[in-house]
Amino acid sequence: MEKAHLRCDANVSIRPVGAEYLNTKTEIKNVNSIEAVRTAIEKEVVRQKKEYDAGRKIQSWTLEWDEDSQSLKKMRSKETEADYRYFREPDLLPVYLTEEWKAEILADFPELPLARRTRFITDYGLPEYDADILTSERSLSDYFERVITSYQGGDPKRVSNWLLNDVMRLLNDGGLTAAELKLTPAYLAEIIKMVDDGIVNTNTGKSLLEKINRTGQSPREIVEAEGLAKVSDDSAIRAVAESIVAENPKEVESYRSGKVGLMGWFVGQLMRKMGGKADATLTRAIFEELL
């Protein structure tokens, strides 16, 4: 040891592909290099395969690696555990673990990732993919459940989508964990609810994430301070839409000639003019009427 020399043992056991049982193991002693370990194991695997294919029982041997001849030599046989000569440590008292004690310890365990993953699938109806990612880190799992608690009646899948697509981007860009976000679970729940209630549109909701994580302000404070509430007034949207139609006769003619994909262009023009605050569904309906 003081010369930093390697000295290790290796146990080898084989089984047919697909079998659940293991054959008897053998032990290779006193191997003194990584290369020797690899070679010794490979040779012992070959030997055991030959024994197995010949229908012979593999014996529980202790083998010695001979570095000079690059071969294994039998040292001794061990048929039972008694051959290892186990003996009790006289200075250690017996420890008896009762079922009650084990139950008490298990009751104090936090929920394990696999159990939480299963619960996310069964209780929240999440796909396996979502549950896998959300339970890969405890702080992310906790964050998700706190959002659900804050938004009673919210759709767990929608919450998961916001987390996996948009919040994860914040985490990755900032090298943060969910517990380190200024965007608290309650704030994210508030944003999702504002989108669901039609107070802001989806794009505005997503833009709030970074602002909140930078400033720590609440979603409602930012929406009110910056005038980000969604515009759902038919007359206001219609006035802007009519001006866009009047200013772009070529695009109007192309749309009416069958290039219906231009609808997205018209909606985009209006969104730019109204700072992205117009109700997208109402905007599209108005353009369909005007065009």
Q: What is the per-residue pLDDT for 84?
A: 56
Using the 8-state DSSP alphabet, how is residue 229 labeled? P
Clarify whether residues 126 and 222 are in a common domain: yes
Q: Is the pLDDT of residue 149 over 70?
A: yes
CB atoms within 10 A of CB 168: 14
Mean confidence (pLDDT) of the chain: 88
For residue 220, tell me if it sits in a domain.
Answer: yes
Clarify whether residues 222 and 271 are in a common domain: no
Within 13 Å and on the Cβ side, how many CA atoms surround 111? 15
Local confidence band at 79 (pLDDT 50, 70, 90 cut-offs):
low
For residue 107, tell me if it sits in a domain.
Answer: no
Clarify whether residues 117 and 204 are in a common domain: yes
Share of the chain above pLDDT 70, in %: 95
Among the candidates 206, 226, 246, a domain finishes at 226
Clarify whether residues 35 and 70 are in a common domain: yes
The stretches of 98-231 forming alpha helices (DSSP H) are 99-107, 113-124, 128-134, 138-150, 156-162, 168-174, 185-196, 202-215, 219-226
Among the candidates 182, 209, 226, a domain finishes at 226
Clarify whether residues 182 and 150 are in a common domain: yes
Q: What is the pLDDT of residues 165-192, one digit of tens each?
A: 999 999 999 898 998 999 999 999 999 9
Clarify whether residues 204 and 242 are in a common domain: no
Share of the chain above pLDDT 90, in %: 51
Q: Is the pLDDT of residue 114 over 90?
A: yes
For residue 105, tell me if it sits in a domain.
Answer: no
Contacts of 235-242 spanning 24+ positions with Cβ under 8 A: 237/270, 237/274, 237/278, 237/279, 237/282, 237/283, 237/286, 238/286, 240/270, 240/273, 240/274, 240/278, 241/266, 241/270, 241/283, 241/286, 241/287, 241/290, 242/290
Clarify whether residues 162 and 62 are in a common domain: no
For residue 206, tell me if it sits in a domain.
Answer: yes
Among the candidates 178, 200, 226, a domain finishes at 226
Residue among 175, 148, 149 at smallest CA distance from 163:
148
Say how far apart CA 208 and CA 219 lie, in whole Å: 7
Task: Count the domains in the chain.
Answer: 3
Q: Is the pLDDT of residue 239 over 70?
A: yes
Q: Is the pLDDT of residue 248 over 60?
A: yes
> Which residue is associated with the tokens 């109204």?
274
Domain that holds residue 35: 8-84
Clarify whether residues 20 and 50 are in a common domain: yes
Clarify whether residues 181 and 219 are in a common domain: yes
For residue 101, tell me if it sits in a domain.
Answer: no
For residue 151, tell me if it sits in a domain.
Answer: yes
∠ Cα 100 114 181 (to 5°): 110
Q: Phi and psi (nearest 5°) for 66?
A: -100, 110
For residue 3, tell me if it sits in a domain.
Answer: no
- For the domain that residue 246 is a member of, what is the CATH number? 1.10.10
